[in-house]
Amino acid sequence: MKHRGRGLASMWYPVGFTGYANPSGAVVKINEDGTAVVLTGTVETGQGSLGVMAQIAAEALGIAPNDIHVVSGDTDTCPMDTGAIASRTTYITGNAVRLAAERAREMLFDVAAGMLRVKPDMLEAKDHKIQVKSFPSRNAAIGDVAYKAYNDVGTPPIGSAMWNPPMIPMDPETGQGKPFGTYVYATQIAEVDVDDETGEVEVLRVTASHDCGVAINPMLVEGQIDGGVHMGLGFGLYEEILFDKTGKQINSNLTNYIIPTTLDMPDVDEDIVENYDETGPFGAKAVGEPSLVPTAVAITNAIYDAVGVRITALPATSERVLAAIKAKRAAEQKQIPA
Amino acid sequence: MADVLDVLEKDHVATESLRRSDQALRLPVVAPPTSLPLDPPLVPQVGEQTHAVGLRAQRPDSRNHGLGLTRYIDDIALPGMLYAKIKRAGISSARIVRMDTSKAEAMPGVHAVLRGSEIPTNVFGTSIVDQPLLADPIVRQAGDGVVAVAAVTEQIAQAAIDAIEIEYEPLPGVYDALQALEPGSHKVHGGDTNVYARKVIRQGDVEKGFAESDRIYEGRYYTPGIEHAPMEPFTSIADWDANGRLTVYASIGRITLARVDLSRTLGIPISRIRVIGTVVGGNFGGKNEIRHEPVLALLAKKAGRPVKGRFTRVEEFIASTIRHAFYMDYKTGVTTDGKIIARKVRMVLDGGAYCSFSETTLGKACILSTGPYVIPNTHIEGQVVYTNKTTAGSMRGFGAPQVCFAYESQMDDIARDLGIDPIELRMKNFFRDGSMTSTGQVLHSVKVAESLQNAVKKFGWEVR
């Protein structure tokens, strides 16, 4: 017989390295027509980070993400980056890109100040224009300003910057310190069906609510959550590297090492908590790794809710769940008074 | 006769439908040029409106991905390129006594053979530098590479490593993290202990906290080693120019660090190395350090030709890193109204044969092991040990999924035992803005309660 259960799990997760410097550099070059090129030493690892970098630079320069080309992943041409690790790209590389774009923008403002006869600090970049703050009808097209910078004034706008999160290393004796710049938070709820005759667990749906600061691109955040739930599902129910007695792996292939397929995936309902972190670029933090963290235990908590057994060793395979159900029945039978 | 025809007809129909489905599955490798949307917009976007943050903008790489035009590392071939294969030990703890590469070297098509002793600095690592590129002479895990070959095809390279004869002297081994802690256990790297990193975090007085608690809960939790299983296995290409400048194409997430490690292992200045990070076909933490790149570079130097090395799926399992297996003991003191006032955590991580990202994983796991809860008295101690198993390294979450499994399992048990709703118990103990973590960090931007409230509402969780 199938039993339905629900389980929840909350988590926290830090952004960046644990008390070690993990800086990122960035270069933003504004072209003659007001479009721009971003140089970053990080690499696209499938998560869509380069698009996020374009959106951050675009926001700072008042142009569209489509106006920006991102060059990445070359140690000869790109500035130093600690890399696509520790959920740090949006927060740390993003801050470097934002600062670099703002520096390039300052060079544009210097040129535009002469064109619009105001001080540079009275200007803002918006909608492909450099305009006077709270007086947007007084403006110059960003392309005209950039062209003038290149060909009249002789200051082609380039900005470079680097950023490293503020940290205090941990004391080796007590562990006291400020190891991270910021943290993110999340709660996931799983609904499962557990078959008490076979031990089989089917995850029906997962609701995943994540704080990532401001979502630079909500579509990509949702994509990361979906991917994280998929990985958490494997961690919770299927995946385990088995070793023989001499330390050799015995299921080192995808026939015997089972990862979830699309057919195993539950419906995922993603939610992005409204938040703004003042230390992140335009309020953004991270979502990459955290999306996987609470899934497995939300599932095992749901298994408890369904059939009353606590799984204390992952993965919760059918065999393990069935063994736990049988052990529970045996224990309950013993409790009948004589 | 009719029966025979019937059978033939059925057979024909079956073959035909198979052929059709086979054809349907065969998509063109590269989309025909006429379908390329060369006219702008390459990436459809909003027009003049430039509010970029918060925009559901299409990814700049999605069209290339969708049309199969993205060039991953395995789509790159350089003129005259050779293929490398690395022979894996296949034994978890041993000393190499004798190696005979003569048959392999004599094979037509084989251009270079490389042993560990030929590597200028045959050791790498991200914190403790303890991992050889090719084991020499001690093998500490079955996936250790022992010798490498470059040949004109992958098949010849495979035949060549199969023809290399190696004699091993088996050594004792240790295959369990808890056994590795015992004084009499085999010491994977010599010395007097297998423990290579420890972490302690202490705040308040945990024993006093337990004494003041109304109830104490204890639990042991275990999570296994798992594999990143990226679609794209480790692949790299090494190429030298006439000035002795090296270019490495690699699907590595940290190219700056890769360049430093190449410089150190090869003994050449950083200015003579270029690392090009190609689009990564799945990383999940497994591609954060060099793996075989210096070996490919030295094979390329010997052969005078570019060399590509590509892990098989089995190598991806046995010769890259995996997630740390965790043993966790949780002891938590709670008041009857559900306030957590003390928590003691002890954890042992199975680090496998080499350090890799173990120190970072241990650190994050210890810091995060309290959960997102205010606990005035904490004592956390973690250690990571060497075993003769596959090296554990960085993997999406760095220890967080493991400790979350423990603290959230126990949280539900506490709620049930105290007869408090699991949501209420969590809300009572959650961090808020200004809360202090076990390391003494004062938090800002805390939204864990909001995430729970949102999830409960969206899920439709009703109290029962």
Q: Which residue of A178, A184, A187, A292 is the best one to mutate when testing the B interface, meaning the one whose CB has the most B CBs within 10 A?
A: A187
Q: Distance between CA B344 and CA A21 in Å, rounded?
A: 29
CB contact under 8 A, B367 and A18: yes
Alpha carbon of B281 to those of A223, B70, B231, B251: distances in Å? Answer: 16, 10, 6, 8
The closest alpha carbon to B195, from B328, B349, B92, belongs to B349
Q: Return the CATH number at A222.
A: 3.30.365.10
Contact state of A271 with B458 under an 8 Å Cβ cutoff: yes
pTM over 0.95: no
What's the maximum distance between 2 C-alpha atoms anywhere in chain A? 101
CA dist B295 and B276 (Å) reads: 17
Domain assignment of residue B200, yes or no:
yes
Is the Cβ–Cβ distance between A269 and A326 less than 8 Å?
Answer: no
The reply to whether B221 falls in a domain is yes
Q: Given A175, A208, A313, which is nearest B439 (Cβ)?
A: A175
Same domain, A28 and A150: yes
* Segment A269-309, tens digit of pLDDT: 999 999 999 999 999 999 999 999 999 999 999 999 999 99
Contact A65 B45 (CB under 8 A): yes
Residue A132 bridge partners (DSSP)? A123, A135
Nearest CB to B43; choose among A62, A66, A220: A66
Answer yes or no: are the C-beta atoms of A30 and A156 closer than 8 Å.
yes
Does a structural domain hold residue A86? Answer: yes
> What is the phi/psi pair of residue B70, to 5°?
-65, 135
Sheet containing strand A183-195, strands side by side: A2-14, A183-195, A201-211, A267-272
Sort residue A266 into left (φ over 0), alpha (ψ -120 to 50) or beta. Answer: beta
One DSSP character per residue, B96-125 reads: EEEEE-HHHHHSTTEEEEEEGGGSTT--B-
User: What is the Cβ-side half-sphere exposure of residue B435, based on CA atoms within 13 angstroms?
Assistant: 21
Min Cα separation B63/chain A (Å): 13
Are A257 and B280 in contact (CB < 8 Å)? no
* Residue B345 neighbours by CB under 8 Å, 6+ apart: B328, B329, B330, B331, B366, B369, B370, B378, B379, B380, B381, B382, B403, B406
B454: containing domain: 178-226+321-459
Q: Residues for chain B: how many in total?
A: 464
One domain, residues A205 and A328 = yes
Q: Is the CB of residue A151 less than 8 Å away from at least one CB of chain B?
A: no
A213 plus A328 within the same structural domain:
yes
**B173 found inside a domain:** no
**A216 belongs to a structural domain:** yes
Tokens of A178: 């400020």
Cβ of residue B443 closer than 8 Å to a chain A Cβ: yes
> B380, A175: Cβ pair inside 8 Å?
yes
Pair A207, A184: CB distance under 8 Å: no
Number of domains in chain A: 2
DSSP character at residue B279: B
Residues A72 and A207 in one domain: no
- The pair of three-digit structure tokens given for residue B463, joined into one six-digit string: 């109290």
Q: Would residue B38 count as lying in a domain?
A: no
Question: Is residue A292 a part of any domain in this protein?
Answer: yes
Asked, for residue B374, whether it belongs to a domain, the answer is: yes
Using alpha carbons only, what angle is made at residue B356 by residues B353 and B360, rounded to the nearest 5 degrees? 125
Q: Does B194 touch chain A if contact means CB atoms closer than 8 Å?
A: no
Indicate whether A171 belongs to any domain. Answer: no
Helix or strand run (H / E) with residue B287: none
**Which residue reads 């369904």 in tokens?**
A306
Is A188 inside a domain boundary?
Answer: yes
Interface test with B, best of A22, A66, A70 (most B CBs within 10 A): A66
Strand pairing category for A183-195 and A158-163: unpaired
Q: Mind giving me the DSSP string for B420-458?
A: --HHHHHHHHB--TT-B-TT-PBP-S--HHHHHHHHHHH
Give A168's DSSP letter.
B
What is the structure's pLDDT at B28? 46
Check which CATH number belongs to the domain holding B199 and give it.
3.30.365.10
CB contact (8 A) between residue A176 and residue B203? yes
Residue A147 and residue A29 in one domain: yes
- What are the φ and ψ backbone dihedral angles of B163, each rounded to 5 degrees? -85, -5
Q: Is B452 on the interface with A (CB under 8 A)?
A: yes
d(CA A135, CA A132): 5
Considering only CB atoms, which chain A residues are within 8 Å of B61? 44, 48, 50-51
Neighbours of A330 (CB within 10 A): 9
Contact criterion met (CB below 8 Å) for A282 and A59: yes
Residue A224, in any domain of the structure: yes
Interchain pair B201, A170: CB under 8 A: yes
Of A239, A245, A282, the CB nearest to B226: A239
Order the strands of the A135-141 sheet from edge to edge.
A123-126, A129-132, A135-141
From chain B, the residues in CB contact with A8 under 8 A are 422-423, 426, 452, 455-456, 461
In a domain, A170, yes or no: no
Q: Are A298 and A190 in contact (CB under 8 A)?
A: yes
φ and ψ at residue B308, rounded to 5 degrees = -105, 135
Which range marks the domain in which residue A277 is found?
2-14+183-334
Q: Give me the helices (H) in B319-438, please.
A: 358-368, 400-418, 422-429
Average pLDDT estimate for A136-163:
97
Q: Does A131 touch chain B (CB under 8 A)?
A: no
**Looking at CA atoms only, how far is residue A60 from chain B in angstroms?**
9
Tokens of B324: 């740390």
Distance CA(B446)–CA(B423), nearest Å, equals 17
| Residues A241 and A270 placed together within one structural domain of the fold | yes
Nearest to B48 among A7, A127, A294 (CB): A127
Residues A204 and A330 in one domain: yes
Q: Which two tokens stand for residue A55?
A: 């959106």
Query: B175 touching A, CB under 8 A?
Result: yes
Residues 292-321 of A with CB under 8 A from B: 292-294, 296-298, 300-301, 304, 310-315
Q: Specify if B100 maps to a domain.
A: no
User: Do residues B233 and B312 touch, judged by C-beta distance below 8 A?
Assistant: yes
Match 């000869």 to its residue by tokens.
A76
Both A136 and A202 in one domain: the answer is no
| C-alpha dihedral sign at B182, B187, B188, B189 | positive
Question: What would the pLDDT profile of B249-294 be if each residue is shown by its tens digit?
Answer: 999 999 999 999 999 999 999 999 999 999 999 999 999 999 999 9
Average pLDDT, chain A: 96
Instruction: Round to whole Å and give the CA distance between B266 and B264.
Output: 6
Catalytic machinery residues of A: 289
Q: B25 is written with which tokens? A: 């599955």
Give yes or no: residues A265 and A315 share one domain: yes
- Model confidence at A191: pLDDT above 90: yes
CA distance B41 to B79: 35
Task: Kindly tell me the sign of the dihedral angle through the C-alpha atoms of B217, B220, B226, B228.
Answer: positive
What is the domain count for chain B?
Answer: 1
Ordered alpha helix ranges (H), B330-389: 358-368
Q: Is B204 in the A-facing interface, judged by CB distances under 8 Å?
A: no
A134 and A194 assigned to the same domain: no
Q: Which amino acid is at B359?
A: E
Residue B135 placed within a domain: no
Is the ipTM higher than 0.95? The answer is yes
Question: Residues of chain B whose pLDDT is less than 70?
Answer: 1-50
Cα of A120 vs its chain's centroid, Å: 35
Q: Are residues A154 and A197 in the same domain?
A: no
In whole angstroms, give the CA distance from residue B179 to residue B185: 7
Tell me whether B220 touches chain A (CB under 8 Å). yes
Q: Determine the residue among A6, A8, A211 to mutate to test chain B binding: the one whose Cβ has the most chain B Cβ atoms within 10 Å.
A: A8
Nearest in space to A213 (alpha carbons), one of B351, B241, B445:
B445
Smallest CA–CA distance from B423 into chain A, residue: A8
Q: What is the largest CA-CA distance in chain B?
A: 92
* Strand stretches in B204-286, DSSP E: 215-223, 235-240, 246-250, 273-277
Q: What is the CA radius of gyration of chain B?
A: 28
In B81-140, the residues whose Cβ lies within 8 Å of chain A are: 90-93
Residue A202: inside a domain, yes or no? yes
Q: Is residue B410 part of a domain?
A: yes
Q: Do A218 and B56 touch (CB under 8 A)?
A: yes
Q: Is A311 helix (H, G, I), strand (E, B) or coil?
A: coil
Nearest-by-Cβ selection for A241 from B48, B224, B455: B224
Residues in contact with A167: Cβ distance below 8 Å, sequence separation at least 6, in sequence order = A16, A19, A20, A21, A177, A178, A179, A180, A181
Alpha carbons B165 and A327: distance in angstroms, whole number: 51
Summarize the confidence of residues A182-187 as an average pLDDT.
98
What's the confidence (pLDDT) of residue B44?
A: 42
Pairwise CB contact (< 8 Å): B409 & A310 = yes
Residues of chain A positioned with their CB less than 8 A from the CB of B276: 73-75
Tens digits of per-residue pLDDT, B191-218?
999 999 999 999 999 999 999 999 999 9
**For residue A247, what is the nearest residue in chain B, using CA coordinates?**
B389
Q: Are A149 and A187 in the same domain?
A: no
